[in-house]
């Protein structure tokens, strides 16, 4: 992630302090703060409170959490994995990463459990960054082709995205935004429409912040404006990340994604999801079968926070306590609305036959 003239990852290990460092995403965009994880409970709190969020990053943070547990107690592998699995239910990367940690580390036994688990977490972080860079390459090529076909040299490619699927949501590069970054690096002029993504505003707070760091032209819109912007001819392509893709190509992602895909279809616009293969849940046959959809606290909707004129952070109540709130955090876009799934192995059709080629990766 480009920041302050340098390159930064969203999670890393500080070997001198023996601490895991993350960018505290609850502080952005007003403050860039580093948060340090020293214990298993620190890692669980960071995931649950969404200091770290985004499917790939949750998985990598959980595996660092396993290391933090094992360095306290080398016998705590099972209990740590159980605790970490409970932090957030929807993004399958969490379960995928913990499943891999369980297999790798239980085979190794207890000799130097902490050292092995740290090496595993560092390797997984590198693997995630490499996957995201590779899928960004395929997505970037797709955007470059769309630009040539639809815009010529005349105007920038207009991309619409939802939530934050950038470097902050992974270890580096991100998923949907990796495609944007790669296309921009290849000289494609772009403008990104960023859905605010109520109620936690990952679009307004995180995606806009990232795009500003990267120097990419963008405009923030409220979620309800996405259809209007598409119908006004201001969008060429929609691209989002995903928290879980079914074996049939249905895309679970941040609440509101389904409406973006519906509006894209009604306006004859392509809708792509970009994700590492670790986000495909081959045990989830299709959208006909329910998956756990996280429901978060009502306060995320009924309270809001911001910066006062004097710079002090403040929290205010938007809706009275009696207002009954349901805070669904994710939805499922059926495969029929998905133009393609962008992965580190290329772009695949959103159907069972096409995705089957990825099952053993």
Residues of this chain that interact with ligand MRU (CB under 6 A) are 53-56, 91, 163, 165, 169-170, 174-175, 202, 240-243, 253-254, 329
Nearer to ligand MRU, 28 or 165 (CB): 165
Cβ of residue 99: shortest distance to ligand MRU, in angstroms?
A: 18
Element (H, E) at 252: strand 251-254
Instruction: Give me the residue label for tokens 């994880």.
Output: 37
CB of 113 or CB of 165, closer to ligand MRU: 165
Taking residue 3's Cβ as centre, other Cβ atoms within 10 Å add up to: 14
Min CB(18)–ligand MRU separation in Å: 27
C-alpha 348 chain-centroid distance: 19
| Residues 61, 44: Cα–Cα separation, whole Å | 9
- Give the pair of three-digit tokens for residue 264: 């894209």
User: Cα torsion at 22, 28, 32, 33 (round to 10°)?
Assistant: -50
d(CA 226, CA 193): 8
**331 catalytic residue (yes or no):** no
Query: Which of 117/333 has CB closer to ligand MRU?
Result: 333
Nearer to ligand MRU, 105 or 168 (CB): 168
Of the residues 24, 223, 236, 243, which is catalytic?
243
Could you tell me the two tokens for 64? 């660092």
Parallel/antiparallel/unpaired status of strands 237-240 and 271-274: parallel
Nearer to ligand MRU, 55 or 230 (CB): 55
The tokens for 13 are 């290990």
- Min dist. Cβ of residue 252 to ligand MRU (A): 8
Distance in Å, CB of 65 to ligand MRU, minimum: 16
| Beta-ladder partners of 157 | 190
Shortest Å, Cβ 72 to ligand MRU: 27
> Shortest approach of ligand MRU to residue 111 CB, angstroms?
35
Do 3 and 22 touch, CB atoms closer than 8 A? no
Using an 8 Å Cβ cutoff, are 355 and 247 in contact? yes
Q: What is the spatial distance between Cα 248 and Cα 286, in angstroms, rounded to a whole number?
A: 5
The DSSP secondary-structure symbol of 331 reads: E
Please report which residue ranges of 220-306 form alpha helices under DSSP H.
Answer: 226-231, 257-266, 299-302
Report the alpha-carbon distance of residue 53 to residue 55 in Å, rounded: 7
* Nearer to ligand MRU among residue 59 and residue 141 (C-beta): 59
Give the residue with the Cβ less far from ligand MRU, 260 or 355: 260
Q: Minimum distance from CB of 244 to ligand MRU (Å)?
A: 9
Residue 245: asked if its preceding bond is cis (omega within 30°), the reply is no
Of 56, 49, 55, 59, nearest to 24 by C-alpha is 49
- Greatest CA separation found in the chain? 62
Q: What share of the chain is helix, strand, coil (3-state, %, to 5)?
A: 40, 20, 40
The catalytic residues are: 243
């Amino acid at each position: 992630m480009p920041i302050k003239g340098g390159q930064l990852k969203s999670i890393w290990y500080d070997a001198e302090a023996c601490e895991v460092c993350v960018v505290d995403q609850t502080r952005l965009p007003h403050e860039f703060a580093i948060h340090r994880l020293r214990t298993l409970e620190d890692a669980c709190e960071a995931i649950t409170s969404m200091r770290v969020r985004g499917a790939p990053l949750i998985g990598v943070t959980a595996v660092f959490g396993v290391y933090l547990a094992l360095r306290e107690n080398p016998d705590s592998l099972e209990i740590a994995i159980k605790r970490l699995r409970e932090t957030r239910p929807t993004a399958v990367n969490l379960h995928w990463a913990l499943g891999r940690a369980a297999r790798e580390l239980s085979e190794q036994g207890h000799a130097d459990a902490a050292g092995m688990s740290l090496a595993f977490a560092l390797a997984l972080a590198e693997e995630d960054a490499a996957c995201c860079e590779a899928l960004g390459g395929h997505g970037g090529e797709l955007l470059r082709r769309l630009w040539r076909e639809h815009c010529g040299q005349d105007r920038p490619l207009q991309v619409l995205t939802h939530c934050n699927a950038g470097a902050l949501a992974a270890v580096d590069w991100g998923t949907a935004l990796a495609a944007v970054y790669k296309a921009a690096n290849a000289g494609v002029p772009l403008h990104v429409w960023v859905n605010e993504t109520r109620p936690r505003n990952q679009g307004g707070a995180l995606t806009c912040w990232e795009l500003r760091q990267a120097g990419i032209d963008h405009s923030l819109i409220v979620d309800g404006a996405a259809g209007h912007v598409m119908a006004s001819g201001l969008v060429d392509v929609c691209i989002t990340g995903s928290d879980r893709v079914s074996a049939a190509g249905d895309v679970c992602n941040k609440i509101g994604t389904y409406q973006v895909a519906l509006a894209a279809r009604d306006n004859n616009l392509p809708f792509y999801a970009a994700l590492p293969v670790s986000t495909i849940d081959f045990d989830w046959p299709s959208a006909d079968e329910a998956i756990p959809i996280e429901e978060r606290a009502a306060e995320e909707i009924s309270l809001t926070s911001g910066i006062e004129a004097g710079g002090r952070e403040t929290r205010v109540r938007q809706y009275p306590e009696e207002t009954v709130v349901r805070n669904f955090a994710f939805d499922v876009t059926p495969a029929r609305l998905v133009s393609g799934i962008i992965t580190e192995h290329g772009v695949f059709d959103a159907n069972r036959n096409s995705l089957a080629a990825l099952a053993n990766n």
